[in-house]
Chains A and B, each alone.
Chain A
Amino acid sequence: MSVTRIKFLQRTKILQQDAHIEVSKPGPRIYFQARLQLASYQLPQNARIYIEAHQLMERIRFDLGTVGMPNPVKALEISSLKGTRVSFDLAVVDGATGQKVASADNLKPVVADGDAARTQNSLLPVDTTKGLDGLYWRVDYSEKDEEGMKDAPVLLVDQEASSSTDLMSDASLRVAVLPSAMREILGRVLLVDEHRYEPDGKDWRNCWLRFAARIAGDEPPSLDVPHHEVDQAREECDHWIQRAVELFCNKHEFLKQLLASKSIA
């Protein structure tokens, strides 16, 4: 049974460049500051500004005042969010109707990390967590993507075993985890969700297929075929995924780097 689509109303999209968010970890606690530049959007002065920090399935909401009288910029604590990566949703809301007059989803903060500052933006965010039931890693489909889909993949690693940066810097972890994770995600998109590739699509499924298509050199096979050809099409999808994963690993020389690190050791 379908759900009648509700019209997208006159909601203004706030650009990331107008919502500068900085996350800082001066000690064991985590804070963020949001500097918003909303003057050019001509929003109602009495509309309220809300920002939600979210990480995996947890969210903390803050009231930043109104467009006309925003609260002074100050550090707001988000230490209760677990993991190491956080995104933000910003909404400007008409208080009388509850209607969103402007918004920005999934804003990536700049992380003040010692002297350096880095922006978080990734096709496969990595996060640390507790309770993976004996697993070192798992792909969790609970992330929000640019299009507001809430089932985008995030790579969870056990926080006692390693940090998210360990995974990317340790050659032995990289070679063991990333190809399998990539294979799982592409399998989910093509073989489980049976997603039809749209080269210009901005949702996470199309982003992943576009990424793999660039590596594989051709677009993914379609499962939109007559019934008697489905098995063969699924097999072709499987081969395409395998090829993309192998080319990805070759391109980034994961195995070569592992062997080099062993010879240095």
Chain B
Amino acid sequence: MKIRRFNEAGMLQFRQVIADRRQAAKAKRAVDPIPAELLQSDEYTTETRFLLPDAPAAFKTKLDICNAVFKMIPQGDFEAMREDAPLWSWLAGWYFDEITMGRKKLKEERAYVAMVDFEGSYRHLILGPCFVATTAKDDPERVRILLYDDPTTMNEVMVQLGSYYDYLMNPVVQGVVRELYWDPSRARTKRGSGGKLPGSPRRLMDYLHQLELNYDLRSISVERLLSFLPEEFDKYKSPF
């Protein structure tokens, strides 16, 4: 079967279905699946050239989503397809159960209904991780901290970095974030990196704003940028 994209009527209907599902979840009622007719009928969708895999999907992490999507839509085609909101929305509908923990954890509308602007797109549960992955094609490990956790979780590092397009796209900033907040021994973020306390990702963003007045954050090395950070970040500089 091929991946499909919603047409105008499909997008409207999908948005309504998502609103209904979210309302059911909020009212603690059973959340129905996305109707097959909405996903497969010609009334609401059209076929693309990309093939869906035969095997069922199992997305334990955002990285699993990226790996699956890039098998269907090669990374070389990603840039051209990035703004195809009806396609990404359809994928979210197709994999709805997988990205909602079996329809138990529903998020805001833009997590499923794709938007083309950056702010909206990075919060989409299929498009967002893929977009992040393409920013580090040369060294995927650099953004593992943003992709290691389950599809429904938006960790604080991602929330902060994702709020600033310049920083999210910047390999040096990605490297600094990884150095500070990634714990390779546990393959997850370091303890305490989720808060607002001194040394937190939120504070890092404030310091980056200051540093970029005087430094080109793409020319500077990761080590040098780390050396400019004040004492409050020291506890994150060493692994623990």
Contact = CB atoms under 8 A, between A and B. Distances in A.
A93 B212 CA distance: 12
Nearest to B79: A80
- Max chain A Cβ within 10 angstroms of own Cβ: one of B207, B210, B214: B214
B218 A131 contact: no
A1 B217 CA distance: 24
A59 B219 contact: no
Contacts of B85: 131
Contacts of A56: 117-118
Interface stretch (A19-27, A94-102, A194-202): A94-102
B224 A97 contact: yes
A6 B115 contact: no
B214 A5 contact: no
Interface in B182-240: 198, 203, 206-207, 209-211, 213-221, 224-225, 230
Interface string A87-131: 000010101011110000000000000000000000000000111
Interface size class of A (residues with CB under 8 A): 20 to 34
A31 interface: no
Nearest to B219: A98
Interface residues of B, number: 31
B216 A57 contact: no
Given A93-B219, A97-B224, A98-B219, A58 B165 contact: yes
Contacts of B213: 6, 8, 100, 148
Nearest to B168: A57
A28 to B, nearest CB: 15
A170 to B, nearest CB: 25
B117 A57 contact: yes
A97 B215 CA distance: 8
B210 A3 contact: yes
Given A6-B210, A58-B165, A100 B116 contact: no
A130 B211 contact: no
Contact of A58 (B118, B209, B211): B118
A50 B216 contact: yes
A81 to B, nearest CB: 12
B83 interface: yes
A4 B210 CA distance: 9
Contacts of A3: 203, 206-207, 209-210
Contacts of A4: 230
Interface of A: 1, 3-6, 8-9, 11, 48, 50, 56-59, 61, 80, 82, 91, 93, 95, 97-100, 129-131, 133, 148
The 5 tightest CB contacts between A and B, nearest first, are: A98-B220, A131-B116, A57-B165, A98-B219, A3-B206
7 contacts: A1-B198, A3-B206, A4-B230, A97-B215, A99-B214, A129-B116, A131-B117
